[in-house]
Amino acid sequence: MYEVRTAVLENNKKTSIITIVLFLIIVALEAFFLYITLTGNSIAVEAFAPIEFSENVTYNNNKLYDKEDFFAYTIPQPIYEEGIPSKEIMVALTFDDGPSSYTSRLLEILKKYNAKATFFMVGDNVGYYPDVIKQLLDYGCEVGTHTQSHANLNASSNDQIDYQIGNGKKVIEDITGQNVKFLRPPYGNKNQTVIDICQSKGLSLILWNVDTEDWKSRNTDTIVNKFLNDTDDGDIVLMHDIYGTTIDAVEILLERLTKKGYHFVTVSELYKYKKGISLEPGKAYYGM
């Protein structure tokens, strides 16, 4: 009988302890949630808020994504000098064979989307459009030479190469008063003489790694699709500002891609922001 009574008392004691512990836990939880509710405290935000995504920043990709569902984490990125963090998507649009009657419209589109570009001009054309050349430079675009008369430098004598590059550079400088520092050789053709002359005249050779073939299709949709399929982060893209279809394609691409956070920069900016380097005379650059 005594044992039974003791057992019952022991049981009651255990039940009481469990009840008290549960009560204390509930009180503690209540107090915690009341604290969060009243203070809107950042403990709750930091601990439970979903990670915020940014559509403007990319992290580990090396590809232009043209998908509506593309998002990426915001992470710290190195910044070379002043400018855009190196990990962000940057593309250098380049336009050959102008200037033309289309160039001023292209400039307005670039301005609308805060995009910069690099122009490689044919010396024979520059005298017809002096104002737009100055406006391009004032806005922050870069201008290089595409030789005096679009010569195939690999099929030219040394004297011809010297004239094509030297005069092509000079006619732009006469208009702008600024040093021309870039050559894009027509057809991408260059030999050691071309390289040596560029070195002596302070010119870097700017080639490309994406050809939109805008000169071949002259079709806006084809140019847009080729660009989206072929272009990666860090690329130099070849286009021509002598076709209306190219200008239309650029407008579509800038409208779609700048709002996704892509940066359209000059060739110098591309290397400065991506690699932290300046372009050197006599060296060839193809994009990354």
Q: What six digits make up the tokens of 96?
A: 């050959």
Residue placing its CB nearer to Zn ion in the complex, 94 or 204: 94
Q: Which of 214, 233, 240, 263 is catalytic?
A: 240
Q: Which of 96, 214, 235, 241 is catalytic?
A: 96
Residue placing its CB nearer to Zn ion in the complex, 83 or 188: 188
> Taking a C-beta distance cutoff of 8 angstroms, is the pair 102, 244 a contact?
yes
Backbone angles phi, psi at 88, to 5 degrees: -75, 155
Of the listed pieces 63-71, 108-116, 156-164, 186-194, which binds Zn ion according to CB under 5 A? 186-194
Of the listed pieces 57-65, 75-83, 103-111, 184-192, which binds Zn ion according to CB under 5 A? 184-192
CB atoms within 10 A of CB 84: 18
Residue 108 CB, shortest distance to Zn ion, in Å, is 23
Residue placing its CB nearer to Zn ion in the complex, 97 or 241: 97
Residue placing its CB nearer to Zn ion in the complex, 195 or 239: 239
Place of tokens 């110098």: 268
Residue 105 CB, shortest distance to Zn ion, in Å, is 20
Residue 239 CB, shortest distance to Zn ion, in Å, is 11
Q: 72 - beta bridge partners?
A: 54
CA distance 91 to 109: 16
269 touches Zn ion (CB under 5 A) = no
Size of residue set near Zn ion by CB under 5 A: 3
Residue 97 CB, shortest distance to Zn ion, in Å, is 4
Of the listed pieces 18-26, 180-188, 196-204, 249-257, which binds Zn ion according to CB under 5 A? 180-188
| Helices marked H in 151-288 | 158-176, 192-201, 214-217, 220-230, 244-258, 267-275
Residue placing its CB nearer to Zn ion in the complex, 135 or 149: 149
User: Which residues in 129-158 contact Zn ion (CB under 5 A)?
Assistant: none
Rg (CA), the chain: 31
> Taking a C-beta distance cutoff of 8 angstroms, is the pair 130, 157 a contact?
no
Handedness of CA 79, 84, 86, 92 (dihedral sign): negative
Residue 157 CB, shortest distance to Zn ion, in Å, is 20
One-letter amino acid for residue 57 of the chain: V
User: Which residues in 79-98 contact Zn ion (CB under 5 A)?
Assistant: 96-97
150 a catalytic residue? no
96 a catalytic residue? yes
CA distance 91 to 117: 9
One-letter amino acid for residue 288 of the chain: M
> Taking a C-beta distance cutoff of 8 angstroms, is the pair 283, 204 a contact?
yes
What residues contact 1, with CB distance under 8 A and at least 6 apart? Answer: none
Residue 258 CB, shortest distance to Zn ion, in Å, is 26
Q: What six digits make up the tokens of 129?
A: 């459009």
The dihedral region occupied by 156, where left means phi > 0, alpha psi between -120 and 50, and beta the remainder, is beta
Of the listed pieces 23-31, 66-74, 185-193, 246-254, which binds Zn ion according to CB under 5 A? 185-193
Residue placing its CB nearer to Zn ion in the complex, 168 or 234: 168
Site residues (vs Zn ion, CB under 5 A): 96-97, 186
Q: Which residues are catalytic?
A: 96, 240
